[in-house]
Amino acid sequence: MLNIEKLSHRYQQKVALDQITFHAEQGIIGLLGRNGAGKSTLLRILATLQQPSEGEIFYHNQASIENPKALRQATAYLPQDMVYPAKLSARDYIHYLLRLRGNSPKAGDEWLEKLGLGSVAHKPLGSYSGGMRQRMGLAYILACETPIILLDEPTQGLDPWERVRFHEYLAAATHDRLVLFSTHIVSDIEAIAHRILIIDQGKLVFDGHPQTLTTTSAEPSWQIEANLPIYGQGYTITNVRREIAGSVRMRGVGLPIPRGATRVATTLEDQYLRLTDQERIV
């Protein structure tokens, strides 16, 4: 469906994307990376809202940078900073957005109902919680009925219950579409993504199934009492936790395993932090 080939983008002297290349078909793909890694830039380029400095996007083998119409029509994009007019109702706003795209407003009503907003669809968006606005945005995206969906940090600001419900809605409604969603929250990836692309400082540093990252890494995870001086010794520290008894337990990744540490099962978060640790001394 999509072939992204050597996509690069620069903002003056800053390199936002550096030779990004991957192929994508139907399914849910998570773009994982810290803030400023280049995720939003990649999604805006795929949504045809800006052109890259270099590279090409092929949609069904059709070059789309200079001729973006087909890709644009096939894509629905929910930005991180989507504007929600406070005085408009959810129903009126979705109807307006769908008419701009040439879609049926009826589909918006159906998705508002499915996502639990039917009884409040007439209320102004200014009265909605963050989770309700996110569901409204998802209702609009799904009502567009496009084969490609792009979501930029869709769970940001949601509480744990709202995040779980958002995962359920997205997974249930998008089995026959390509969904790319950006996040810096590892649990989002573990919940619904069958594939992850980890982007760090504009570079694609991992592309594969989440389980692959946790089972093939040569560097083990371990935990240790945190009063030992192990910072700045080539390790990535992934968690520091105070125990009930008052001691502090530190979790990390790297070799050699520190003296006194216990090896533990590696997690996706361990390996993600290892790959994106820009302060690690090796």
**pLDDT score, position 152:** 94
Residue (of 148, 144, 72) closest to 110 by Cα position = 144
**pLDDT score, position 166:** 83
**pLDDT score, position 130:** 85
What are 135-151's pLDDT values in tens digits?
899 899 999 989 999 99
**pLDDT score, position 230:** 56
**pLDDT score, position 9:** 97
**pLDDT score, position 175:** 77
**pLDDT score, position 227:** 60
Domain boundaries, the chain: 2-209, 214-275
**pLDDT score, position 128:** 94
* Superfamily of 2-209 according to CATH: P-loop containing nucleotide triphosphate hydrolases (3.40.50.300)
Task: Measure Cα distances from 95 to 102, 168, 178, 226 in Å.
Answer: 10, 24, 24, 55
Q: Which two tokens stand for residue 47?
A: 């949504």
Beta bridge partners of 236: 253
Beta bridge partners of 183: 32
**pLDDT score, position 277:** 87
pTM score of the predicted model: 0.91
Mean pLDDT of the chain: 90
Q: Identity (one letter) of the amino acid at 243? A: E
**pLDDT score, position 62:** 95
Place of tokens 């080539």: 234
Q: What are phi and psi of 50, to 5 degrees?
A: -155, 155
What are 170-199's pLDDT values in tens digits?
887 777 899 999 998 898 888 889 999 999
**pLDDT score, position 235:** 87
Q: Identity (one letter) of the amino acid at 282? A: V
CB-based contacts of 235, cutoff 8 Å, min separation 6: 252, 253, 254, 258, 280
CA separation for the pair 131, 45 (Å, rounded): 26
Which residues of the chain are under the pLDDT cut of 70? 226-233, 245-246, 279-282
CA separation for the pair 121, 140 (Å, rounded): 12
